[in-house]
Structure 1
Amino acid sequence: MKKKKYGLMILLALFCCILFSASAQAAGAKNKFVKASNGNVYYYNAQGKKAKGLVTVNGKKYYFASNGVQRTGWRCVKKKYYFFRQAGGAGGYMKKSTKVNGIRLKKNGTASYNKQQLRKLKLMVLASSEVDRCTNNKMTKAQKLKAAFRRAVSYGYGADTKFYSGSDWDIHYGEIMLYRKKADCFGFGAAFAYLANAVGYKAYAVSSGGHGWAEVNGRVYDPDWAKVTGKIKLYGGMNYNVTGPGIPRYKGNRLYVKKI
C-alpha cells in the first residue's frame, strides 16, 4: 500500500513539474511562438499576451482563434477569406499571390471569387471547423485523416437522390452533408473529400453516377459503405484493386472526378 502511495506521489510530482515548466515557458514568452504540451501553438506578443485574430510576425501574417490557438487552412476573418499554410508555428503563414484549391489569392492574401467559388470557400471554411472539432494538435497528419473519416462516417442519411452531374456537383453534395449532417452516398463522399482537404491532403470527390466516394493518395475512402457495413478500416483507405462480395466496383468507375 505504501509503495502504491509513493508511486502516485512521484507521478503527481512529475506532472506538476511538467505543468509548471510549460506554464513558466509561456509566462516568460514575448514575441515568440510557443507549442503547449497538448500540441496547440500560441504566439505571445511584446506584452507577453496571447495573440488573437490576424497577427503580423516578421512580415508574415498568421491567424489565431479567440482562445489564442493558431489555426491554418481556409479561414474567414471579418467576412474575408484567407488561406494559411497547413503547418504549425512560423510555417503556418498566410499565402499570397497564388492559387489554392482553384481560388486566386491577391497580393494582400484575400481570396478573389465568383458566386460558385464563394460557395466552395464557405464549404472549405466549414470543413476546417469540422476538422478542428474532431482532431487535436497532438495527432499526426495521418491520425487526423482517420479522425476526419470517422467524423464523416458518423453523419446521418438523407433522402437518396438521382446523381446531379453539374460542374459544381462536389460543392452541391458537400453543402448538403456538411450543413445538414445527413445526405446520400454522394454527400458522404464529397463531404469527406472536403474534410481530407482541410487536414492537408490532395483530395478528390469521385462518383460512378450511381455511387459516391472520396479519393486520397490514390486510395478509396467510402464513409457511406463504412457506415453500412461497420467496416471502417476496410473502407477508410482501400486499394482500388480490392474486390470481393459486397464491395462496390470502384476501379474503372471513376466517371465523375472533382479535385477539391
Structure 2
Amino acid sequence: MIDKEHQLRTVNVIRYITPLREGGSMPALAEADDEFLYVLKFRGAGQGIKALIAELIGGEIARALGFRVPELVFANLDEAFGRTEPDEEIQDLLKASVGMNLALHYLSGAITFDPLVTVVDERLASEIVWLDCLLTNMDRTARNTNMLMWHKELWLIDHGACLYFHHAMQNWEEQAIKPFSLVKDHVLLSRATQLDAVNKDFSAVLTPALIQQIVDLIPDAWLAAEGTAAEAAQQRNIYKEFLLRRLGSSDIFTKAANDARQALI
C-alpha cells in the first residue's frame, strides 16, 4: 500500500495560460480546478510519456530524500482545449495530450539557480550529485541547472531526462550498474566533497518498499500506452529492479563521481 505522503493528487486543467518554450517538450503554464497554477508537462510532447514517468520517479525519489521539489500532480486535459487554440503547433500538442498528464506546482517569482551567485554547501551539493548519479540525470549542468531559488531556498525541478535507459529498454541490467559518466558535467560536482557519507545515508533511506511505492505511482495507462496489461506490469517491474540494482551498486557510481571531482582539481 502507498503511504499517504507518496500519493499524488489529481486535478483538471481549466485554463491554458501560456507555453513555456524551453527545451523540446514545450510545457505550459496552466490553471487547474483547485485554483493553483502549474507547469504542465504533456504526454503528447516529443519526449512522450517516458519523460513523464522519469519526472514522476525522479521527483518523488528526490522528495523522499528530503529535497525541496514542487508538488507533482496528475493533470487531466479535456479534448476541448485543442479545438480553440489558434497556434497549430500548440493545438497539435494539446490534441495529442488529452487525458492524464503531469504537472508541477508553479513557484511564482522563483529565479533560476546561478552557481556564480549562490554557493551551495558541500553536503547539499553532494546530496544532489548523488541523486543525479542514481537517476542518471544528464540535465543538471551549468548550461541548464534545472534548479530554482525560491524564498532563498534551493528547489529541484525537471527530472524528465532521468532514467534514459528506458528509451530503449535494452540491456537495462547492465545499465543499472554502470557509473554515470556524465557526472563530469554536473554543475555542483566541484562542491560534492561528502559523497561517501551521502551514499551511506541515502542508501539506507531508499528501501525496497519505498521504491515499490514510488514505482506504483506510475499510471497503468502510461505503461500500457504501447502494449498489453501484462507488458505494462513487466515495465513497472523493470523500473523497480533497475532502481534496486542501481542502489545495490551505488558504490560504483559514487566512486566514479569522486574520481570525476578529483579530476577537476
Could you say which TM-score interval applies, normalised by the shorter chain?
Answer: under 0.3
- Structure 1-normalised TM-score? 0.26
Structure with more helix by fraction: 2
- Structure 2-normalised TM-score? 0.26
Larger radius of gyration: 1
Structure with more strand by fraction: 1
| Higher relative contact order structure (alpha carbons within 8 Å, sequence separation ≥ 6) | 2
